[in-house]
Amino acid sequence: MDKIRIIGGTRLSGKIPISGAKNAALPLMAASLLTDGKLALSNVPYLADIVTMANLLAQHGVDISFSAPAKNIGRTMSLSAGNIHNLTAPYELVRTMRASVLVLGPLLARFGAAKVSLPGGCAIGTRPIDLHLKALEQMGAHIELAEGYIHAHTHGKLQGAEITFEKVSVGATENILMAASLAEGITIIHNAAREPEVCDLAYCLVEMGAQIEGIGTDTIRITGVDELHGCDYSVVPDRIEAGSFAAAVAITGGDCELVGARMEHMQSVAEKFADAGVEMIETENGIRVIADKKIQCIDIITQPYPGFPTDMQAQMMALLCVADGASMITETIFENRYMHVPELMRMGAKVITHGSSAMIRGTDELNGAEVMATDLRASLSLVIAALAAKGETVIHRVYHLDRGYERLEEKLSACGANIERISERTAASFKIPEAA
């Protein structure tokens, strides 16, 4: 297991390339199961979660190739599901990545059966999948839960249905979008998720021949078609990566351009940065972040898109640790998403949590410490705090970061950050001599 060492105190300036969005690429990859044609995805980030999804699809029988253009960014992935021989998504893969459950809708729609491991709990909460299952049942699927698996099958094709989600769910909207594209008749999804990653999937499905209206609204109407075909599609830039780097730039009082970032996907985040005294200006190639004032305290409530994203909560908290005054964050999406708080407090942050709320009192005194990454976005909050902290911070368990941030150290050090990765394997083999 690798560690990351950061020595805080340098101001970030320069350009940071923004990768394709992991949360868009994962459902797009799952969509390859809907056709025997070739889906060629470009701008795919090279990340642990992408590799996990590729392994999952490969064991179903998807033929995958991943080409690496210059500098390892924006890879192209070709997926052909013309020879699917296994309809089971096994526990070993699903437990490491919840998004694996996105194979359920496509498998069921195209092959009439699927067996997918229940994802189980995860670090940020219980995260059930009842909405996915209930909606598929409404479409005529027979679902049983046994031995930790979802056993699903249909008699004939899935049927279009009118589905009202009682809660906005990104994953459930994506699963039903894919299933409904090959179902018989019309499906209407009410209270659909509107995240740019959901729209990216819908636009790709349309390129593949699906009939979808209302993309980007909370009511989506899908008219099922008999078959879909392959297409070329470029993954949308990652708004959460862009927002994370904006917070990193802001905490160092820096000035950077986030190349490729799209302002239209970042309105709620940009508004909060503006309230905190950080400018985000749209440029020809992305967004410029300028932080030349003292950070001001702000209040944030996480909400489904277009509200403030839960996936930016931890990173914004790190920034607010150095603000003038006290800020309040209320997390409404996940019930256990403050695991970064005790780690930030090890660095001198003054945070009190109570249920879904956290109060952050600003301080000028963040200090380097040994801390532990607990989940993907929490890990980045530690990186952000470390960039402003006095002295050295060592972040353990960086495999969480590797799930969602492509070439993080390289991107930050190119803008002046003092950051390096230490391979723990070297340290471990030093301490524990190999058996003779």
State the residues that interact with ligand UD1 by CB under 6 A.
23, 26, 98-99, 125, 127-132, 167, 169-172, 193, 197, 310-311, 333-334
Tell me the catalytic residues: 122
- Cis before residue 306, ω within 30 degrees of 0? yes
d(CA 383, CA 361): 19
Alpha-carbon gap, residue 94 to 109, rounded angstroms: 20
For ligand UD1, the closer CB: 317 or 333: 333
Task: Report which residue's Cβ sits closest to ligand UD1.
Answer: 171
- Report the residue number, 130 or 271, with the smaller CB distance to ligand UD1: 130
Q: Give the separation between CA 2 and CA 403, rounded to whole angstroms.
A: 13
Q: Find the shortest distance in angstroms from Cβ 230 to ligand UD1.
A: 23
Q: How near is the Cβ of 195 to ligand UD1 at its closest, in Å?
A: 6
**CB nearer ligand UD1, residue 35 or residue 173:** 173
What's the min distance (Å) between Cβ of 113 and ligand UD1? 21
Shortest Cβ distance from residue 198 to ligand UD1 (Å)?
8
Nearer to ligand UD1, 295 or 373 (CB): 373
Separation CA 119–CA 135 (nearest Å) = 18
Nearest approach, Cβ of residue 98 and ligand UD1 (Å):
6
Closest approach of ligand UD1 to the CB of residue 170, in Å: 4
Residue 324 · residue 294 · CB < 8 Å: yes
Integer angstrom CA distances of residue 86 from 83, 143, 178, 349, 351: 9, 18, 19, 50, 49
Q: Are 155 and 149 in contact (CB under 8 A)?
A: no
Are 257 and 15 in contact by the 8 Å Cβ rule? The answer is yes
Max intra-chain CA distance, the chain: 66
Token match 């995805």: residue? 41
* Shortest Å, Cβ 50 to ligand UD1: 11
Q: Which is nearer to ligand UD1, 60 or 337 (CB)?
A: 337
Nearer to ligand UD1, 197 or 241 (CB): 197
Residue whose CB is less far from ligand UD1, 107 or 135:
135
Residue placing its CB nearer to ligand UD1 in the complex, 98 or 288: 98
CB of 206 to ligand UD1, least distance (A): 20
